Chains A and B, each alone.
Chain A
């Protein structure tokens, strides 16, 4: 579903060039729930922004369902973002002036899809993610967990190839965090959605099928969940301990 080949990205500050991603390669299969972890400065957020095409990369290729995203023009990128990618952001990025239901409809509104089907799908999602009671409320009137579940539902509206989540539990308490993770799992199981999540939260990552651990812009290790979630989380914590703590990513 998602294939990253020899991806490199560096930042320039004055005369200094800081390489952030160094020839990174990996693959995410359809229906897989993958997390990216790593200490501060390891390049996980930069990786997500390159895949999202929010920032250009220096070299390498990014394939989404076999299509190379490198070198797409603005129109092409907008189409990919609307049709093939679904985004979930740390601070939800809901439009304050629209209700929960209207926010969920937004990707299809942008794509000018037929209204009855759109509304039916949005209603289904509201029910599926347990937010039907708040569907007519505005973002300011709901909790953080509800906001993020709304964001997940919105990200899935156009049935994207992959859901890209940037620290989706970063602003949430533990109960809301669990609700959001459940939403991802539900999307994966019921809709066969592929989820690619950047996080520093080992609890959230322990629900994933696979975790890619980055260090200094390269893949330090990849962990695949074979046993229980608890065992996987212990395994993750052990690796992070080796790295010297997960830390926040403030790139």
Chain B
């Protein structure tokens, strides 16, 4: 028998601990590795714009993910070290050198980390492929979006594994340095000071949680709309108020005594309540972190759902699948070209309509943002141009009537439009011909809903009386006219190849003069030139048939819904994936922390349970005490975390635009299902922790013997 054989045997005995640590390392490396393989793979790297916001966000979120993974692995290592501590204490008492134990521990940690990391990296390759395929099922599978393996991801995954090994090494070093023979040998429970938790903590906490969230979300909005200025960032501190509320609720649950109300229940739960009260502070802190993790988990889920929605085709109410507008002189695509291309792609066109509108100079009331953070009303005379249609043309293009009296106008808004602080649907008061200067005072007569036209003009497109239109556009040159084409197809979902081909044709035939930025306005440019000033939006975009990412950049970008929906999906897929990752990681961290806390209840209170046994408590009583502890650890943070997450999402959705859209209600429904699934997942972890804890306390073994004795007695 040698030392190494003895250690092998001890390892074998405690293989559950090694397995758990290895699993956490494996999971961390797998998650980071799989993500890095996708993100640093050639497909995503070539797809994402250089130095763009998505890259910054992705890097930031990946760092947060790595931090989350590190935290839950370190937390799992605490349980590993807790099991090791008794073993180490005995070895130290029997004269083993600390440095030998150090060496052994680091060898073991290095071994576990190396094996688990290699396995994690190896599993990351198929996992990244699988996740990619999953996302591909949401997207249209194109040649550019095919999965390509990136070695850079392996390097990042391996780098993370090294970092994890370093962190575990530091944790191991701290463990050995802090190993105190006295503590281990005497295994005395060192309780915290028990202070009476006042009963007001529960109602105070319950009020503080929603109030904190409501104030943190609502004050910035109220400040803008009521006071006309941005709220200072210090209002975010109201979130701390909500966190303090969570702490108070949990503190009351953990350490509060309700002896006065129900004496019978008090005595029934006296032991389990007292057990928790002796570690009230650490238990509350721990549960608070679990609540916040679950909140982050639901928040990530809600964020992912919102992103996913932004890429869907939506309801398409009053919206045509294909819409184009371009300067009238361009003559980009003839009707025959469009129909021929549709035929080539076996696409049936319907509701085809085309016609002209005019870019008239508008005078309107709007909102400006001053340098000192105030929102002020601004009257902009002859400020810029907007698209105007006669009521007849509106009917031709949309197939819907628009009744507009002379001297009035109707503002065209999208079906899902919600008014904001900047622009007002009734802000326009005068329109003018940019060539002749003929102007006409107009008054607001209401809105019209259309999914395509508002996208063609800023701030809005307007419909005026046909007589007024003729008067205002008399003598207008082609420069200020736009040609509009709108149509639908029978199978929009299946029209992607046709849309792509049409998109390519549109760009090939467009002149470079139309490659202007979406904020470009010819009138503003003209005025700037007359004043001898430089115009900020004069530049030309690099438009190519391959680049379909110009939806918010190019003024005359074709509004082909199937293309934009797929493009949005492609660009948001990185976000959705990140949200999914954060969801998994926060949930895993919360689960590991809760599990460890559950096991600690048994490990830390072994002597209490022994005393209970000596006092005549049978297995059933001990199990009840244990279950009461464990269920508190799992139930309260689980329910509170989900409730706070849901509350936040519900408040946020309302405060954003003071209404619930169909998609928001749908997402709240999905989140509720996710909450139920999270609680079920916690229940599974609870069952596992319960079994393990009963094993540690020997409850099962004692019950088995008791059953045996009973059966002998009865036979």
Contacts and interface: CB of A to CB of B under 8 A. Distances in A.
How would you classify the secondary structure of chain A's contact residues: helix, strand, loop or mixed? Answer: helix
B1 A95 contact: no
A197 to B, nearest CB: 16
A60 to B, nearest CB: 19
Interface string A59-76: 000000000000000110
Q: Which among B94, B96, B99, B185 has the highest number of chain A CB atoms within 10 Å?
A: B94
Contacts of A118: 1
A115 B2 contact: yes
B12 interface: yes
Interface string B71-110: 0000000000000000101111111111100000000000
Interface in B130-175: none
Interface residues of A, number: 36
Interface stretch (B3-11, B55-63, B426-434): B3-11
B155 to A, nearest CB: 39
B96 A97 contact: no
Contact of A109 (B3, B92, B701): B3
A102 B187 contact: no
B1 A111 contact: no
Contacts of A107: 94-95
B95 A55 contact: no
A87 B91 CA distance: 12
Given A91-B187, A102-B1, A78 B87 contact: no
Contact of B10 (A49, A87, A95): A95
A81 B13 contact: no
A118 B96 CA distance: 17
A112 B3 contact: yes
B703 to A, nearest CB: 15
Contacts of B12: 97
A74 B98 contact: yes
Interface in A38-94: 49, 52, 54-55, 74-75, 78-83, 85, 87, 89, 91, 93-94
Nearest to A74: B98
How would you classify the secondary structure of chain B's contact residues: helix, strand, loop or mixed? Answer: helix
Given A54-B182, A110-B3, A95 B87 contact: yes
Contact of B1 (A55, A78, A105): A105
Contacts of A95: 10, 87, 90
A142 interface: no
A93 B93 CA distance: 10
Interface in A133-154: 140, 154
Nearest to A99: B9
B308 interface: no
Contacts of A140: 701
Contacts of B181: 54
A181 interface: no
A214 interface: no
Contacts of A112: 3
A201 interface: no
B436 interface: no
Contact of B182 (A55, A111, A115): A55
Nearest to A112: B3
Given A54-B181, A95-B10, A78 B92 contact: yes
Nearest to A83: B95
A222 interface: no
A155 B9 CA distance: 21
Given A97-B10, A97-B13, A98-B9, A79 B95 contact: yes
Contact of B95 (A93, A96, A105, A110): A110
B93 A75 contact: no
B688 interface: no
B14 interface: yes
Given A78-B97, A82-B96, A89 B185 contact: yes
A119 B6 CA distance: 14
Nearest to B90: A93
A67 to B, nearest CB: 15
A168 B233 CA distance: 64
A115 B97 contact: no
A106 interface: yes
Contact of A110 (B87, B94, B98): B94
Given A107-B94, A110-B3, 7 more contacts: A78-B92, A94-B90, A96-B13, A97-B10, A98-B10, A106-B91, A118-B1
Interface of A: 49, 52, 54-55, 74-75, 78-83, 85, 87, 89, 91, 93-98, 102, 105-107, 109-112, 115, 118-119, 140, 154, 158
Q: Which 6 A-B pairs have the closest CB atoms?
A: A82-B95, A97-B13, A81-B95, A97-B10, A110-B96, A78-B97
26 contacts: A49-B182, A54-B93, A54-B182, A54-B185, A55-B182, A75-B97, A78-B97, A81-B92, A93-B93, A95-B87, A97-B12, A97-B14, A98-B6, A98-B9, A98-B13, A102-B6, A106-B6, A106-B90, A109-B1, A110-B94, A110-B96, A111-B95, A115-B1, A115-B2, A140-B701, A154-B94
